[in-house]
A and B are shown apart, each in its own frame.
Chain A
Amino acid sequence: MYDRILVPTDGSDVSAAAEQAAIAFARAHGSEVVVLAVGQPQPPIASAEAAMAIDPGIDDAVLLATAKEHARNVASAAEAAGVRCTSLAVLDYSPADAILATADSQGCDLIFMASHGRRGLSRLLAGSVTQKVLADAHVPVMVMRPPAARK
């Protein structure tokens, strides 16, 4: 039970708290961790303004490199804690779909994630990615609340 835990990361502070909890949980129960970072490509916008202002951040290669770095950071924290770890980075327009697909393809039996990530507006709204994962996941999802909520 809970042998392989999927830990999605977006490199934010909120997701960092969930990552630490996941690593601690995996360590306590001898589980393996699969870290996933998803780069979200920006759909091309056909307008003169968009063509004028090219943001290097929207380049796919840059996005993927950033995602890889986020995944590697978590993976090295896991390895430092003595937890076996696989680190993955993908590009997907829908991070939730990427998380769900990876949970299936990697045979994960638990997903550990924050109630919202980088794009969360408020702690009173669960993030849209988390919402979608919760609604469609085939395996249990451990939702970590933002650390600010703890006393």
Chain B
Amino acid sequence: MPLRPARAGRVGVIRAPVAKTAVVAAAVTPGRAPVAKTAVVAAAVSPRVGRRRI
């Protein structure tokens, strides 16, 4: 089906071809210890208590 006429002849807002990103669904892949990996990631983005950056 055609797009609405209002979309034709305008300058686009997506300036360049979009590159495919890594598929997020596969970010925590089933591996040797997927549950442990998930826990580590969760800890990394949790409020810092007693952790130091350096």
Question: Are A and B part of the same complex?
Answer: no
